[in-house]
Protein backbone atom coordinates (compact mmCIF):
# COMPACT_ATOMS: atom_id res chain seq x y z
CA UNK A 1 0.00 0.00 0.00
CA UNK A 2 1.07 3.59 -0.73
CA UNK A 3 3.74 2.31 -3.12
CA UNK A 4 4.27 2.09 -6.86
CA UNK A 5 3.38 4.52 -9.63
CA UNK A 6 1.28 7.24 -8.05
CA UNK A 7 0.10 10.26 -10.05
CA UNK A 8 -0.03 13.72 -8.54
CA UNK A 9 -3.32 14.48 -10.27
CA UNK A 10 -4.24 17.84 -11.78
CA UNK A 11 -7.62 19.39 -11.00
CA UNK A 12 -9.47 20.28 -14.22
CA UNK A 13 -11.46 23.53 -14.24
CA UNK A 14 -14.17 24.96 -16.45
CA UNK A 15 -13.82 28.35 -18.12
CA UNK A 16 -15.92 29.77 -15.28
CA UNK A 17 -13.33 28.57 -12.76
CA UNK A 18 -15.33 25.69 -11.29
CA UNK A 19 -14.08 22.13 -10.90
CA UNK A 20 -14.78 20.16 -14.09
CA UNK A 21 -16.06 16.94 -12.57
CA UNK A 22 -16.69 15.32 -15.95
CA UNK A 23 -13.06 15.77 -16.95
CA UNK A 24 -11.99 14.63 -13.49
CA UNK A 25 -13.92 11.39 -13.91
CA UNK A 26 -12.32 10.79 -17.30
CA UNK A 27 -8.85 11.35 -15.84
CA UNK A 28 -9.40 8.93 -12.98
CA UNK A 29 -10.74 6.23 -15.31
CA UNK A 30 -7.83 6.79 -17.72
CA UNK A 31 -5.32 6.22 -14.92
CA UNK A 32 -7.09 3.07 -13.82
CA UNK A 33 -7.03 1.73 -17.39
CA UNK A 34 -3.33 2.65 -17.73
CA UNK A 35 -2.40 0.66 -14.62
CA UNK A 36 -1.48 3.57 -12.35
CA UNK A 37 -1.22 2.32 -8.75
CA UNK A 38 -2.54 5.39 -6.99
CA UNK A 39 -3.77 8.96 -7.20
CA UNK A 40 -2.86 11.90 -5.02
CA UNK A 41 -5.83 14.25 -5.07
CA UNK A 42 -5.46 17.84 -3.92
CA UNK A 43 -1.70 18.01 -3.76
CA UNK A 44 0.41 20.82 -5.23
CA UNK A 45 -0.29 19.61 -8.77
CA UNK A 46 -4.01 19.74 -8.01
CA UNK A 47 -3.73 23.47 -7.21
CA UNK A 48 -4.77 22.83 -3.63
CA UNK A 49 -3.42 26.18 -2.49
CA UNK A 50 -6.09 27.98 -4.52
CA UNK A 51 -9.04 25.84 -3.43
CA UNK A 52 -11.51 26.50 -0.65
CA UNK A 53 -11.73 23.89 2.10
CA UNK A 54 -15.11 22.73 0.83
CA UNK A 55 -13.79 22.41 -2.74
CA UNK A 56 -10.72 20.56 -1.50
CA UNK A 57 -12.80 17.98 0.33
CA UNK A 58 -15.33 17.76 -2.51
CA UNK A 59 -12.61 16.94 -5.06
CA UNK A 60 -11.05 14.25 -2.86
CA UNK A 61 -14.50 12.78 -2.26
CA UNK A 62 -15.28 12.80 -5.97
CA UNK A 63 -11.99 11.08 -6.86
CA UNK A 64 -12.63 8.42 -4.20
CA UNK A 65 -16.19 7.89 -5.41
CA UNK A 66 -15.10 7.58 -9.05
CA UNK A 67 -12.25 5.26 -8.10
CA UNK A 68 -14.67 3.03 -6.18
CA UNK A 69 -11.84 0.95 -4.76
CA UNK A 70 -10.26 0.28 -8.15
CA UNK A 71 -7.19 2.40 -7.36
CA UNK A 72 -5.80 3.78 -4.13
CA UNK A 73 -6.54 7.42 -3.42
CA UNK A 74 -4.29 9.57 -1.24
CA UNK A 75 -5.57 12.94 -0.08
CA UNK A 76 -3.43 16.01 0.34
CA UNK A 77 -4.01 17.34 3.86
CA UNK A 78 -1.17 19.80 4.34
CA UNK A 79 -1.27 23.43 5.39
CA UNK A 80 1.04 25.99 6.94
CA UNK A 81 -1.46 26.23 9.82
CA UNK A 82 -1.64 23.12 11.99
CA UNK A 83 -5.28 23.80 12.87
CA UNK A 84 -6.18 23.87 9.18
CA UNK A 85 -4.28 20.67 8.41
CA UNK A 86 -5.98 18.95 11.35
CA UNK A 87 -9.39 20.18 10.19
CA UNK A 88 -8.83 18.87 6.65
CA UNK A 89 -7.62 15.54 8.04
CA UNK A 90 -10.66 15.20 10.28
CA UNK A 91 -13.12 16.15 7.53
CA UNK A 92 -11.62 13.71 5.02
CA UNK A 93 -10.97 10.87 7.46
CA UNK A 94 -14.34 9.25 6.76
CA UNK A 95 -13.79 9.11 2.98
CA UNK A 96 -12.81 5.81 1.29
CA UNK A 97 -9.17 6.80 0.87
CA UNK A 98 -5.92 4.96 1.55
CA UNK A 99 -4.11 7.72 3.39
CA UNK A 100 -2.85 11.29 3.42
CA UNK A 101 0.05 13.25 1.95
CA UNK A 102 1.09 15.96 4.41
CA UNK A 103 3.41 18.67 3.12
CA UNK A 104 5.84 20.34 5.47
CA UNK A 105 4.28 23.55 6.86
CA UNK A 106 5.32 26.12 4.29
CA UNK A 107 6.54 29.67 4.93
CA UNK A 108 6.66 29.29 8.72
CA UNK A 109 10.00 27.43 8.93
CA UNK A 110 9.17 25.91 12.34
CA UNK A 111 11.64 24.54 14.83
CA UNK A 112 12.11 20.78 15.05
CA UNK A 113 9.85 20.71 18.10
CA UNK A 114 7.18 22.71 16.28
CA UNK A 115 7.44 20.46 13.24
CA UNK A 116 7.12 17.30 15.31
CA UNK A 117 4.14 18.72 17.18
CA UNK A 118 2.51 19.70 13.87
CA UNK A 119 2.78 16.19 12.50
CA UNK A 120 1.72 14.63 15.79
CA UNK A 121 -1.46 16.71 15.71
CA UNK A 122 -2.20 15.72 12.12
CA UNK A 123 -1.49 12.05 12.81
CA UNK A 124 -3.79 12.12 15.83
CA UNK A 125 -6.63 13.52 13.71
CA UNK A 126 -7.05 10.26 11.78
CA UNK A 127 -6.00 6.64 12.10
CA UNK A 128 -5.25 6.51 8.36
CA UNK A 129 -1.60 6.29 7.25
CA UNK A 130 0.17 9.54 6.49
CA UNK A 131 3.08 10.31 4.20
CA UNK A 132 5.40 13.21 4.90
CA UNK A 133 6.13 15.46 1.93
CA UNK A 134 9.52 17.14 1.75
CA UNK A 135 9.71 19.73 -1.03
CA UNK A 136 12.11 22.52 0.00
CA UNK A 137 11.60 24.38 -3.27
CA UNK A 138 7.97 24.98 -2.30
CA UNK A 139 8.14 25.22 1.48
CA UNK A 140 11.49 26.89 2.14
CA UNK A 141 12.36 24.17 4.64
CA UNK A 142 14.27 20.92 4.16
CA UNK A 143 12.98 18.04 6.26
CA UNK A 144 16.29 16.37 7.10
CA UNK A 145 16.68 12.61 7.65
CA UNK A 146 17.23 13.12 11.38
CA UNK A 147 13.87 14.85 11.62
CA UNK A 148 12.18 12.20 9.48
CA UNK A 149 13.52 9.54 11.85
CA UNK A 150 11.91 11.33 14.79
CA UNK A 151 8.59 11.60 12.96
CA UNK A 152 8.76 7.96 11.83
CA UNK A 153 8.27 6.97 15.47
CA UNK A 154 4.65 8.15 15.17
CA UNK A 155 2.77 4.93 14.31
CA UNK A 156 0.69 6.14 11.37
CA UNK A 157 3.43 8.22 9.73
CA UNK A 158 4.49 5.47 7.36
CA UNK A 159 6.65 7.11 4.70
CA UNK A 160 7.82 10.18 2.84
CA UNK A 161 7.58 11.78 -0.56
CA UNK A 162 11.13 13.05 -0.97
CA UNK A 163 11.35 15.81 -3.59
CA UNK A 164 14.85 17.18 -3.09
CA UNK A 165 16.30 15.23 -6.03
CA UNK A 166 19.05 13.95 -3.73
CA UNK A 167 19.04 10.18 -4.31
CA UNK A 168 21.70 9.66 -1.64
CA UNK A 169 18.97 10.21 0.93
CA UNK A 170 17.46 6.82 0.14
CA UNK A 171 20.22 4.95 1.96
CA UNK A 172 20.27 7.43 4.83
CA UNK A 173 16.50 7.28 5.34
CA UNK A 174 16.59 3.49 5.20
CA UNK A 175 19.29 3.48 7.87
CA UNK A 176 17.43 5.93 10.11
CA UNK A 177 13.85 4.76 9.57
CA UNK A 178 14.09 1.06 8.69
CA UNK A 179 13.17 -0.93 5.62
CA UNK A 180 9.42 -0.73 6.24
CA UNK A 181 9.33 3.07 6.02
CA UNK A 182 7.99 3.93 2.55
CA UNK A 183 10.28 6.04 0.35
CA UNK A 184 8.67 7.71 -2.66
CA UNK A 185 10.39 10.01 -5.11
CA UNK A 186 8.76 13.35 -5.73
CA UNK A 187 11.31 14.37 -8.35
CA UNK A 188 10.59 12.86 -11.77
CA UNK A 189 14.01 13.59 -13.21
CA UNK A 190 15.78 11.49 -10.56
CA UNK A 191 12.90 9.13 -9.77
CA UNK A 192 14.30 6.11 -11.58
CA UNK A 193 17.66 6.28 -9.81
CA UNK A 194 15.83 6.87 -6.49
CA UNK A 195 14.02 3.56 -6.93
CA UNK A 196 17.10 1.72 -8.15
CA UNK A 197 18.75 2.81 -4.89
CA UNK A 198 15.91 1.20 -2.94
CA UNK A 199 12.94 3.56 -3.17
CA UNK A 200 9.44 2.11 -3.31
CA UNK A 201 7.85 4.24 -6.01
CA UNK A 202 7.04 7.74 -7.19
CA UNK A 203 4.46 10.44 -6.77
CA UNK A 204 4.79 11.82 -10.24
CA UNK A 205 3.80 14.85 -12.30
CA UNK A 206 4.85 13.21 -15.58
CA UNK A 207 2.48 10.32 -14.84
CA UNK A 208 -0.34 12.71 -15.69
CA UNK A 209 0.64 12.53 -19.36
CA UNK A 210 2.45 9.16 -19.58
CA UNK A 211 0.71 6.92 -17.04
CA UNK A 212 1.35 3.55 -18.70
CA UNK A 213 5.02 4.22 -19.39
CA UNK A 214 5.56 5.55 -15.88
CA UNK A 215 3.93 2.43 -14.44
CA UNK A 216 6.19 0.24 -16.59
CA UNK A 217 9.29 2.14 -15.50
CA UNK A 218 8.35 1.98 -11.82
CA UNK A 219 7.67 -1.74 -12.04
CA UNK A 220 11.03 -2.35 -13.69
CA UNK A 221 12.93 -0.15 -11.25
CA UNK A 222 11.37 -1.60 -8.11
CA UNK A 223 11.91 -5.18 -9.27
CA UNK A 224 15.57 -4.64 -10.15
CA UNK A 225 15.23 -4.66 -13.94
CA UNK A 226 17.84 -1.97 -14.37
CA UNK A 227 18.10 -2.13 -18.16
CA UNK A 228 14.37 -1.76 -18.78
CA UNK A 229 13.93 0.91 -16.12
CA UNK A 230 16.85 2.94 -17.45
CA UNK A 231 15.69 2.70 -21.05
CA UNK A 232 12.15 3.82 -20.20
CA UNK A 233 13.46 6.61 -18.01
CA UNK A 234 15.67 7.91 -20.81
CA UNK A 235 12.64 8.00 -23.11
CA UNK A 236 10.73 10.06 -20.53
CA UNK A 237 13.49 12.50 -19.59
CA UNK A 238 12.55 15.15 -22.21
CA UNK A 239 8.98 15.06 -20.91
CA UNK A 240 10.20 15.32 -17.32
CA UNK A 241 12.15 18.42 -18.30
CA UNK A 242 9.20 19.95 -20.14
CA UNK A 243 6.89 19.46 -17.16
CA UNK A 244 9.04 21.85 -15.13
CA UNK A 245 9.85 24.65 -17.58
CA UNK A 246 7.59 26.74 -15.37
CA UNK A 247 6.18 26.15 -11.91
CA UNK A 248 4.10 23.01 -11.51
CA UNK A 249 1.26 22.51 -12.51
CA UNK A 250 1.43 25.11 -15.28
CA UNK A 251 3.24 22.92 -17.86
CA UNK A 252 1.50 19.62 -17.11
CA UNK A 253 -1.94 21.17 -17.31
CA UNK A 254 -1.05 22.78 -20.62
CA UNK A 255 0.23 19.41 -21.85
CA UNK A 256 -3.01 17.68 -20.87
CA UNK A 257 -4.97 20.38 -22.65
CA UNK A 258 -2.97 19.77 -25.83
CA UNK A 259 -3.73 16.06 -25.41
CA UNK A 260 -7.45 16.81 -25.16
CA UNK A 261 -7.76 15.60 -21.56
CA UNK A 262 -8.62 18.91 -19.84
CA UNK A 263 -9.29 22.53 -20.72
CA UNK A 264 -6.34 24.94 -20.27
CA UNK A 265 -7.79 26.77 -17.28
CA UNK A 266 -6.01 27.59 -14.03
CA UNK A 267 -6.72 29.31 -10.73
CA UNK A 268 -4.91 32.61 -10.26
CA UNK A 269 -2.13 33.28 -9.52
CA UNK A 270 -1.36 30.39 -11.88
CA UNK A 271 -1.76 31.23 -15.56
CA UNK A 272 -1.05 29.47 -18.85
CA UNK A 273 2.61 29.12 -19.89
CA UNK A 274 4.39 31.88 -21.77
CA UNK A 275 4.51 31.36 -25.53
CA UNK A 276 8.09 29.96 -25.70
CA UNK A 277 7.21 27.44 -22.99
CA UNK A 278 3.97 26.53 -24.77
CA UNK A 279 5.93 25.80 -27.92
CA UNK A 280 8.54 23.78 -26.05
CA UNK A 281 5.91 21.67 -24.30
CA UNK A 282 4.03 21.00 -27.54
CA UNK A 283 7.21 20.05 -29.42
CA UNK A 284 8.19 17.66 -26.62
CA UNK A 285 4.74 16.06 -26.66
CA UNK A 286 4.96 15.62 -30.44
CA UNK A 287 8.40 14.01 -30.20
CA UNK A 288 7.09 11.67 -27.50
CA UNK A 289 4.12 10.69 -29.67
CA UNK A 290 1.61 12.08 -27.20
CA UNK A 291 -0.03 14.48 -29.66
Burial group, residue 21, by CB count within 10 angstroms (0-12, 13-18, 19+): middle
Is 164 annotated among the ligand-binding residues? no
Is 203 annotated among the ligand-binding residues? yes
Q: How far apart are CA 22 and CA 13, in angstroms?
A: 10
Q: How far is CA 104 from the centre of its chain?
A: 14
- Coil, strand, or helix at residue 99? strand
Instruction: Give the active site residues.
Output: 133, 161
Per DSSP (E only), the strands in 117-220 are 130-134, 157-162, 182-185, 201-204
88 neighbors 79 (Cβ within 8 angstroms) = yes
Per DSSP (E only), the strands in the chain are 4-8, 38-41, 72-76, 99-103, 130-134, 157-162, 182-185, 201-204
Measure Cα distances from 6 to 86, 122, 130, 144 in Å: 24, 22, 15, 23
Beta pairing class for 157-162 and 130-134: parallel
100 neighbors 89 (Cβ within 8 angstroms) = yes
| Binding-site positions for pyruvate | 45, 203
| Binding-site positions | 45, 203
Amino acid sequence: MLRGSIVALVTPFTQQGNVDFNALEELVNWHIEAGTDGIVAMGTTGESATMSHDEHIMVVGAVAEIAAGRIMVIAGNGSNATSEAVMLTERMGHLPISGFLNVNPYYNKPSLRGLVEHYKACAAASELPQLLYNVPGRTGYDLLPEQVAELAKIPNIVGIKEATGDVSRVAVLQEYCGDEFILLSGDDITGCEFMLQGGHGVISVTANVMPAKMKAMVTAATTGDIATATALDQEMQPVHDAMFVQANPIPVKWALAKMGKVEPFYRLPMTEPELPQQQHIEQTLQQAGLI
